[in-house]
């Protein structure tokens, strides 16, 4: 079975890692959000792509989920001493990635090509693709401060402003990166990893042609909301601020017509009937991925479930 998986950063990377343990190289393509990308200290940063690549490479920091294992912080300690900008901290090893990517982008290389080369260097076997090679910037509309660039909202202001909407700047001009449409068209099913629906999966679906391509396939989403809460990050807060009670049901409604199947946690079994009434087949399981075994277990549950839908 061939799967195209859509993913943001930390939550998406965990399931993608599990899927990569089960599916052979040719049977899995991971399509990653680039709406979080930004320029910082002159560097091109692609946080979600790096999180997915580092995770599959076994190089991710197991505590934070982002950044690298065995990291040191000499460069940023030095920048701090010089009075520079340090609200977004980058470790020494991680900086090597950003320096090389920035150098290659300035030279004219595409983000997808650079990602492919980095994955090769890190011995990542499965294909990881940015959703697009063109710049798309997620903008967060807030009640207090109007529109904020994503990382300004997410990292600098620690998601404190009240969200009133989102815009994906540049997405009208963005084309899917080479291989993205083919991966979806050739897949037996599309899996939406348990990533933030508003700012991780929606930007991918907004790129020209990707929502219709998904619509033509069996789609299974995994809920990032468990027991009304996000395990990490602002997904639940965003739902609340947009006047939607955060729940697995809210996530299913978010994707609604796109979904054929929905995987969510056993603690949310009271939503089961309402989701089934939307003509969506459901799988209730333990959806928390605490360790490598948990990633593999959830991935296997998802694959077995997809098989029952085909």
Interface residues with ligand GDP (CB under 6 A) are 7-12, 14, 48, 51, 194-196, 200, 222-224, 226, 230-233, 235, 287-289
Q: Which lies closer to ligand GDP via its Cβ, residue 17 or residue 101?
A: 17
Both tokens assigned to 110: 């595409």
Cα separation, 256 vs 295, whole angstroms: 25
Place of tokens 């300690």: 77
Q: Which lies closer to ligand GDP via its Cβ, residue 218 or residue 294?
A: 294
CB 192 to ligand GDP: min, Å: 10
Q: Which lies closer to Ca ion via its Cβ, residue 30 or residue 284?
A: 30
Distance in angstroms between the alpha carbons of the first and the last residue of the chain: 10
Helices (H) and strands (E) in the chain, counts: 13, 14
CB 223 to ligand GDP: min, Å: 6
37 binds Ca ion, rule: CB under 5 A = no
Contact partner at residue 233 from ligand GDP, Ca ion, none, CB < 5 to 8 Å by partner kind: ligand GDP
67 binds Ca ion, rule: CB under 5 A = no
Contact partner at residue 43 from ligand GDP, Ca ion, none, CB < 5 to 8 Å by partner kind: none
9 binds Ca ion, rule: CB under 5 A = yes
Burial of 121 (0-12, 13-18, 19+ CB in 10 A): exposed
Torsion of CA 164, 248, 280, 200, to 10 degrees: 50
Q: Say which DSSP state 177 is in.
A: P
Cα separation, 128 vs 57, whole angstroms: 11
Contact partner at residue 206 from ligand GDP, Ca ion, none, CB < 5 to 8 Å by partner kind: none
Q: Say which DSSP state 132 is in.
A: B
Q: Using CB under 5 A as the criterion, which residues of the chain lie in contact with Ca ion when the complex forms?
A: 8-9, 36, 48
């Amino acid at each position: 079975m061939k799967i195209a998986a859509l993913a943001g950063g930390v939550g998406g990377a965990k399931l993608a890692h599990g899927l990569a343990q089960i599916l052979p190289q040719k049977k899995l393509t991971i399509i990653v959000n680039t709406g979080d990308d930004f320029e910082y200290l002159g560097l091109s940063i692609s946080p979600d792509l790096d999180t997915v690549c580092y995770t599959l490479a076994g190089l991710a920091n197991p505590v934070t989920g982002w950044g690298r294992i065995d990291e040191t912080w000499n460069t940023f300690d030095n920048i701090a001493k010089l009075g520079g900008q340090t609200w977004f901290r980058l470790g020494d090893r991680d900086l090597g990635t950003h320096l090389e990517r920035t150098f290659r982008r300035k030279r004219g290389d595409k983000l997808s090509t650079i990602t492919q080369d980095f994955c090769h260097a890190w011995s990542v076997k499965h294909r990881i693709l940015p959703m697009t090679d063109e710049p798309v910037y997620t903008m967060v509309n807030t009640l207090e401060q109007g529109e904020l660039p994503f990382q300004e909202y997410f990292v600098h202001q620690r998601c404190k402003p009240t969200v009133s909407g989102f815009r994906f700047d540049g997405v009208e001009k963005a084309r899917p990166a080479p291989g993205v449409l083919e991966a979806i068209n050739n897949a037996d099913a599309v899996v939406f990893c348990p990533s933030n629906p508003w700012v991780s999966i929606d930007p991918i679906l907004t790129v020209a042609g990707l929502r219709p391509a998904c619509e033509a396939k069996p789609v299974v989403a995994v809920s990032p909301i468990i027991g009304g809460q996000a395990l990490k990050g602002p997904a639940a807060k965003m739902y609340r601020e947009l006047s939607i009670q955060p729940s697995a049901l809210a996530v299913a409604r978010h994707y609604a017509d796109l979904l054929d199947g929905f995987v969510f946690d056993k603690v949310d079994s009271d939503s089961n009937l309402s989701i089934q009434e939307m003509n969506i087949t459901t799988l209730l399981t333990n959806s928390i991925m605490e360790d490598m075994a948990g990633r593999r277990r959830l991935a296997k549950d998802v694959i077995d479930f997809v098989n029952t839908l085909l």
